[in-house]
Chains A and B, each alone.
Chain A
């Protein structure tokens, strides 16, 4: 069965939940979703990324230019990723829809991992 990378984008200028109880609720809903995916044998991986914009490295005039990450250009930040097993894009998207991330105002980018 193919694997699909779910990149969890956050819109950085949206109001972020602040209170511990809100964070707890968010955390528990991600946990519950991941636990379900794992129990169904779907979850192949997942990590949270640090809450910074990171770096971008580009070729420039024969050298490498390193700048701060996409933050300055767009208001989006990848907060984390999951890898799910699904039989095709349709199924991958159906599963991704159940992830609480979209409900919290984020985007999910779904890309198929290239493997035989």
Chain B
């Protein structure tokens, strides 16, 4: 039995976040480093004992007890450098290892990880590590970094947190309004990172997406954080993640929206998405997230690509462009307009966009031009566009797709 065993790895990853949150409640967020070490110690103990004693009836409780005991040992070891924290030790004494994974504790830990003193990347990384239980290797891959660099970043982030004297709690209403956007952003980035991983390897890090879905759903379950915007986030993720099984074939090749087998879309997730979208209307203001969720819902509701309500999509994109006129939004709006009003209209909008910062490095921009040029029977120009797309950063599945489009221009 090792961590290479997926069942074991999955159990450990899921419990890591719950146990960390529980111990953070007992020992305080400044002790996050000690807590994570104690959790790793507990996993080590499990891997050593379970092959001999058998897997316990309640593995999660076993792990929590082990982590608690290791935390106490580490507190004692720490006392060589700092005065011994008697209160912390005694709180551990009274603690209940069956209370790991409470919603309050998980959310409080998220607010710690997404503290404004940290930059957004640190916030997401710390969330991935402490709340989601991912390892530095997985995080390094997602960020195209090295395990050492990620470890260093996490150490610095935890040190910053340690110096802030934070209470382990969900912020009160006044502060909550300021702090919640960072959580929403971190979850959004987490989903985005999982949805399309960077250059190389697989199209989706599915577990990242699953975690983003879980965390977004948790936000909607707590009265303090169940805002309209959190529901919009949950809706958006439900709609996108519902397509997970249809986005790649069994060889890992990319299947575009137009070609996806909609029978493989997760109908239950889509239904959940619509429920969240409904709940999202309680918000005071329409946010870009609301519109992104609404856009995703239009696709989710379409029984087939050709039956998509492109006019409604163009309308939503128009509203989104007003709130968030970024090159990527304008790109997607142009594609929607192309479907609603014809390729020439779309191409004009794309060409208007060509001067925007960084869009030249975005593979999807060139690919979109290529598609429209092909529809206008301009094969030569289309080929040039797809070639430009291949010069941009893309993962393996995307490159394969672009290469076959280039071939089709010949």
Contact = CB atoms under 8 A, between A and B. Distances in A.
A16 to B, nearest CB: 9
B91 interface: yes
A28 B299 CA distance: 58
- Most A CB within 10 A of own CB, among B76, B79, B90: B90
Contacts of B68: 31
A27 B76 CA distance: 11
Interface in A17-66: 20-21, 23-24, 26-28, 30-31, 34-35, 38, 43, 45-48, 50-51
A80 interface: yes
Interface stretch (B30-38, B93-101, B201-209, B375-383): B93-101
A24 B89 contact: yes
Contacts of B69: 31
Contacts of A80: 90, 94
A14 B105 CA distance: 36
Interface in B62-120: 65, 68-69, 72, 76, 79, 84, 86-87, 89-94, 96-98
Contacts of A82: 94
Contact of B98 (A27, A38, A48): A38
Contacts of B90: 23, 26-27, 30, 48, 80
A31 B96 contact: no
Contacts of B98: 38
Interface in B163-195: none
Interface residues of B, number: 18
A27 B72 contact: yes
Contact of A20 (B65, B84, B87, B93): B84
A28 B72 CA distance: 9
A34 B79 contact: no
Contacts of A27: 72, 89-90, 92-93
Nearest to B99: A45
Nearest to B92: A27
B94 A34 contact: yes
B87 A51 contact: yes
Contacts of B87: 48, 50-51
Contacts of A30: 90, 93-94
A23 B94 contact: no
A10 to B, nearest CB: 11
Residue among A24, A34, A35, A38 with the highest chain B CB neighbour number at 10 A: A24
A54 to B, nearest CB: 15
Nearest to B72: A27
A14 to B, nearest CB: 16
A58 B65 CA distance: 42
A21 B81 CA distance: 15
Contact of B92 (A31, A43, A46, A50): A31
Contacts of A34: 93-94, 96
Given A27-B89, A35-B65, A51-B87, A20 B76 contact: yes
A20 B98 CA distance: 27
A36 to B, nearest CB: 12
A29 B322 CA distance: 64
A51 B91 CA distance: 11
Nearest to B90: A48
Nearest to B69: A31
Contacts of B96: 34, 38, 43, 45-46
Nearest to A79: B90
Contacts of A35: 65
Given A35-B65, A51-B87, A24 B94 contact: no
A44 B91 CA distance: 17
Contacts of B92: 27, 31
A6 B107 CA distance: 31
B94 A48 contact: yes
Nearest to A24: B76
A37 to B, nearest CB: 11
A31 B93 CA distance: 5
A20 B75 CA distance: 9
Nearest to B83: A20
Interface of A: 20-21, 23-24, 26-28, 30-31, 34-35, 38, 43, 45-48, 50-51, 80, 82
13 contacts: A20-B84, A24-B76, A26-B90, A27-B90, A27-B93, A31-B92, A34-B93, A38-B97, A45-B96, A46-B96, A47-B94, A48-B87, A82-B94
Interface of B: 65, 68-69, 72, 76, 79, 84, 86-87, 89-94, 96-98
Given A31-B68, A51-B87, 6 more contacts: A20-B84, A23-B86, A24-B72, A27-B90, A80-B90, A80-B94
Nearest 5 interchain pairs by C-beta: A20-B84, A30-B93, A27-B93, A48-B94, A27-B89
